[in-house]
Chain A
Amino acid sequence: MDSEEGEVSTSDAAAWLRNHDQIQDLVNRRVPTRSQATLSLWGALVLAVYVGVFLIAFGGRTVHETVSNGGDYQFSNMLLVPLLAFSFLVNGARERMGIQRKPAGRSWILYLAIFVAFMALGVLSLVGVGYPWWLNLLVPLLLFVTLAITPLRQLRQSVKTPETERWVTKPLSRPTRWTTAVIGVTFGLLVATSTSRWFPILSIIAFMLILGALIGLRTRWGLPRTGYEWGPWQWVAFGLATGVLFLDVALLTFTPWMTTAVAIIAGVLVAAVMVLAALFPRAADR
């Protein structure tokens, strides 16, 4: 297909275009994979639930009302810590993929609009301006629909995930086992102490741990490496643990059900699930 500038023959041009089509076809047959779509869908769910629980727990009421109603902004760390951990873990998981698709330009405008809406509701609550309660449900719902629509469409296209990128639960490396267990124990302690006076200290320590993880982003025990190695078992365990943390915040804010005993049992379960996910499968179990 070599050609002199300005002297391209019709057959040469046709050959270039055929080459273009063949390569595009090769790429389109490889992406989006089911793994990529599932990961994006999972991210959409976590982010929407985070925004939803945050707004329902702390939005639509003044700071004074929130605190006097038994809720407390320090519980916001129980939402923020798993969300930050998740974002680092997902970054690592994405490194498994050989090809990624960037969101289209109009998607960014929608993300920005929803982010602005979320921030606006937060500011209205802080300054004590009331707004209809259903906005606390509408914003996370819109966020989920916006983020989930593309991965849902991609899942229907069902491109087979290449063997090298397929998510299977494999024995983890020793540093990843430790990091997974530390995540579990941290989440477990947050839940277990959520009704105690030690919670503010634990909450700050957990947040510092996440900040500390920033220093070790490129290490073998860092969160991205951990997310890279995790298989379905570990992601399900993390989902359960995160779900309990989010539920804990909602229950602490609106119900008296979260007694010390319930909190301790829930915390132990969270830690146990993640520690089991860290330990299994052993190398010999494969």
Chain B
Amino acid sequence: MAHPRHQWDDAFQTPIRFSLMAALGTNAVIDFRTLRDLLEADDSVLSKAVSHLEKIGYVKVTKGYVGNRPKTWIGSTAKGTRAYEAHLRALRAITEGAL
């Protein structure tokens, strides 16, 4: 079985992408504005992070509507959740001195 440190995922190397996945957890779906306020990030920075994670299939973006105003919802996919959990395991292994 591979050592957990090999499960370190480059997709979560930037703080914004890591924080985004931390916020989504396993079952939260968060709208873009709430996520931006929660992570204290700029629209453009968050947007880039979401696009990157969406491109590799880690998050799913859906559009909701309030009347004719669109609202963007972001949730983690099963693949994204698995990857993030593996990444957390790798971090824990490092902190426990497993390297």
Q: Which residues of A are at the interface with B, using a C-beta cutoff of 8 A?
A: 1, 3, 5-6, 8-10, 13-14, 16-17, 19-20, 23-24, 26-27, 30-31, 92, 95, 97-104, 217-220, 222, 224-225, 228
Contacts and interface: CB of A to CB of B under 8 A. Distances in A.
20 contacts: A5-B8, A5-B13, A9-B94, A10-B97, A13-B95, A17-B92, A19-B22, A24-B25, A27-B30, A27-B38, A92-B66, A95-B65, A98-B33, A99-B28, A101-B27, A102-B75, A219-B68, A224-B65, A225-B66, A228-B66
B95 A14 contact: yes
A112 B31 CA distance: 28
A31 B13 contact: no
Contact of B8 (A8, A14, A20): A8
Interface string B47-72: 00000000000000000111110010
B28 A27 contact: yes
A218 B69 CA distance: 8
Contact size class for B? 20 to 34
B86 interface: no
B92 to A, nearest CB: 7
A100 B97 CA distance: 37
B15 to A, nearest CB: 6
A23 B22 contact: yes
Interface of B: 5, 8, 10, 13, 15, 18-19, 22-23, 25, 27-31, 33-34, 38-39, 64-68, 71, 73, 75, 88, 91-92, 94-95, 97, 99
A196 to B, nearest CB: 37
B94 A8 contact: yes
B94 A224 contact: no
Given A19-B18, A24-B25, A102-B75, 20 more contacts: A3-B13, A5-B8, A6-B5, A8-B5, A8-B91, A8-B94, A19-B19, A24-B23, A26-B38, A27-B23, A95-B64, A98-B30, A99-B30, A99-B31, A103-B27, A218-B65, A218-B67, A218-B68, A220-B67, A228-B67
